Amino acid sequence: MKKALITGITGQDGAYLSELLLSKGYEVHGLKRRSSLFNTDRIDHLYQDPHEKNVRFKLHYGDLNDSTNLIRIIQEVQPDEIYNLGAMSHVKVSFDTPEYTANADGIGTLRILEAVRILGLCEKTRIYQASTSELYGLVQAVPQSETTPFYPRSPYAVAKLYAYWITVNYREAYKMYACNGILFNHESPLRGETFVTRKVTRAVAKIALGLQDKLYMGNIDARRDWGHAKDYVEAMWLILQQEKPEDYVIATGVTTTIRDFIKMAFAEVGIDIEFRGEGVDEKGYVAACRNNEYQIEVGKEVLAIDPKYFRPTEVELLIGDPTKANTQLGWKPKYDLAGLVKEMVESDVNLFKRDSLLKTHGYEIKNQFE
C-alpha cells in the first residue's frame, strides 16, 4: 500500500486529493494545524476512528514553519509521495502578512525538501510542489506555458517563486523526484470563502434568498483561467506517476473576466445583471428576475466597487497552455466553466436555504467577514 503525506490537507485541494488517493488505495497522512476552532470541515467525512483497525486516513499536528516537526512526521510516515499544498494562499492577504507568507510558502517548501534529504529518503519519496500561475504575474506572453518567463506581482507569488526554484534545484542537485505543478486557478464548492468565485457564488445565493443586499467587489476586469479542483488534483497525482520528474502547466486554456463570472453566477438563479458607471463608480443592477422563487426587484443595485479590494499590484490576465499536460500526462479537464458555476451556485443556495429558514422563524443569522 502506497503512503502519501499531504500538507494543507484541510484546504480545498487537500480535501479532494485525499478523496482521490483513498479511492486509489493509498494510506493518506495529513498535516493539520492546531486552531482554536475545528478546521477540518472539508475532510470530516473522511475521518476514521484511530482506534479501529486498518485506518487509512491519519492526521498529524504540524506546521510548515516548524522543521523539527516536519522531520519527525516524515520520519514516522516514510511517505512514498508528499504533496506540499500547505500555504498562506490568499494573494491580497499576502500584502498584509508578507513575512509570514515568505516563511510558510517559500521556506516551508525548503523545509520539506531538506527533511526528505536529511532522512535519506531522496530515492524513495516523490514530492509535488503546489506552484501557481501567479508566478507569471505581469504579462510577458500569452498563453502562459512551462517556458514563459515569470514576473511575480505579490509577496505570495514571490514566495512561491522561491519554492518553485528550490524544488527544481533539489531535483537537479540530489536527483530527487520533485516536481512543480503550475496550476491555474481552480475552484469548487469547497473553495475558500474569500476567493473571488466563492465570494460571488455565496453572495448570489444570499441576495437571491434575501439574506444580503449588496456585493462589494475589487477589480472586476481581471481575467482568470478557471478550472475545477477535482480535475486539478487528478493532474497532481499524474505528475508524480511519470518516469521522469518534470514541471507541468495545468489549465483549461480559456480565460474569463470576473465581470462575466458574476453575470454567469447571477444568471444561475434567474437574475440578469447589467453594469453601469465607470471605474470605482461602476455598479451592477438587476435587469430582470426570471425566477418566481426569488423576489428581487428589477433596478435594484446589487453590486458596487470597493477600492479596499484592489491589490497594490494586480495580475490582469491569466490564460494557460496545457499542451504538455495534455500530451505527456494524458490529462484533460472533465468540467467546463458553466458546469463549475452551476455547481458552486447550487451548493451555496442549498447552504443558505438553511439560514433563510432560520431567519423566517425568528432566529438571528450570524454575519461573516469577507
Cβ–Cβ < 8 Å for 91, 194? no
User: Which of these ranges, 58-66, 197-205, 282-290, 342-350, lies near ligand NDP under the rule CB under 6 A?
Assistant: 58-66
Restricted to residues 218-257, the positions that interact with ligand GDR (CB under 6 A) are 218-220, 222, 224
Task: Draw the binding track, 127-146, toward ligand GDR (x: CB under 6 A; -: no contact).
Answer: -----xxx------------
| CB neighbour list of residue 310: distance below 8 Å, 6 or more residues apart | 218, 219
Cβ–Cβ < 8 Å for 255, 300? no
Q: Which does 217 bind (CB under 5 to 8 A by kind): ligand NDP, ligand GDR, none?
A: ligand GDR
Under the binding rule (CB under 6 A), the answer on residue 286 touching ligand GDR is: no
Alpha helices in 185-325 (DSSP H): 196-208, 229-239, 258-268, 323-324
Under the binding rule (CB under 6 A), the answer on residue 85 touching ligand NDP is: yes
Q: Which does 345 bind (CB under 5 to 8 A by kind): ligand GDR, ligand NDP, none?
A: none
> 72 burial class (0-12, 13-18, 19+ CB within 10 angstroms)?
middle
Separation CA 263–CA 260 (nearest Å): 5
User: Which of these ranges, 80-88, 170-178, 314-322, 349-357, lies near ligand NDP under the rule CB under 6 A?
Assistant: 80-88
Q: What are the phi and psi torsion angles at 301 (to 5°)?
A: -85, 115
Tell me which residues are annotated as active site: 132, 134, 156
Q: Which does 104 bind (CB under 5 to 8 A by kind): ligand NDP, ligand GDR, none?
A: ligand NDP
Instruction: Look at the alpha carbons of 319, 324, 326, 331 in this order and tell me if their dihedral is positive or negative.
Output: negative
Cβ–Cβ < 8 Å for 181, 236? yes
Separation CA 104–CA 155 (nearest Å): 12
The beta strands (E) that lie in 169-233 are given as 178-183, 186-187, 215-217, 223-224, 227-228
Restricted to residues 313-342, the positions that interact with ligand GDR (CB under 6 A) are 314-315
Contacts 24+ apart (CB under 8 A), 355-364: 355/206, 355/209, 355/211, 356/209, 356/210, 356/211, 359/211
Q: How far is the CB of 231 from ligand NDP (least distance, A)?
A: 12
Under the binding rule (CB under 6 A), the answer on residue 106 touching ligand NDP is: no
Cβ–Cβ < 8 Å for 238, 330? yes
Q: Which does 252 bind (CB under 5 to 8 A by kind): ligand GDR, ligand NDP, none?
A: none
Q: Which does 97 bind (CB under 5 to 8 A by kind): ligand NDP, ligand GDR, none?
A: none
Q: How far is the CB of 248 from ligand GDR (least distance, A)?
A: 15
Candidates 309, 351, 356, 359; binder of ligand GDR (CB under 6 A) is: 309
Under the binding rule (CB under 6 A), the answer on residue 84 touching ligand GDR is: no
* Residues forming a β-bridge with 275: 284
Cβ–Cβ < 8 Å for 331, 226? no
* Residues forming a β-bridge with 32: 61
Task: Draw the binding track, 86-105, toward ligand GDR (x: CB under 6 A; -: no contact).
Answer: ---x-xx-------------
Under the binding rule (CB under 6 A), the answer on residue 7 touching ligand NDP is: yes
Strands 283-289, 301-305: pairing kind: antiparallel
Candidates 127, 190, 196, 203; binder of ligand GDR (CB under 6 A) is: 196
Measured from the CB atom, is 126 or 191 closer to ligand GDR?
191
Under the binding rule (CB under 6 A), the answer on residue 148 touching ligand NDP is: no
Q: Which does 235 bind (CB under 5 to 8 A by kind): ligand NDP, ligand GDR, none?
A: none
| Nearest alpha carbon to residue 165 among 184, 178, 183 | 178
Measured from the CB atom, is 167 or 185 closer to ligand NDP?
185
Separation CA 116–CA 127 (nearest Å): 9
Candidates 145, 169, 192, 194; binder of ligand NDP (CB under 6 A) is: 192
Under the binding rule (CB under 6 A), the answer on residue 252 touching ligand NDP is: no
Q: How many residues touch ligand NDP (CB under 6 A)?
A: 26
The residue ranges that bind ligand NDP (CB under 6 A) are 7-8, 10-14, 31, 33, 35, 39, 63-65, 85-89, 104, 130, 132, 183, 185-186, 192
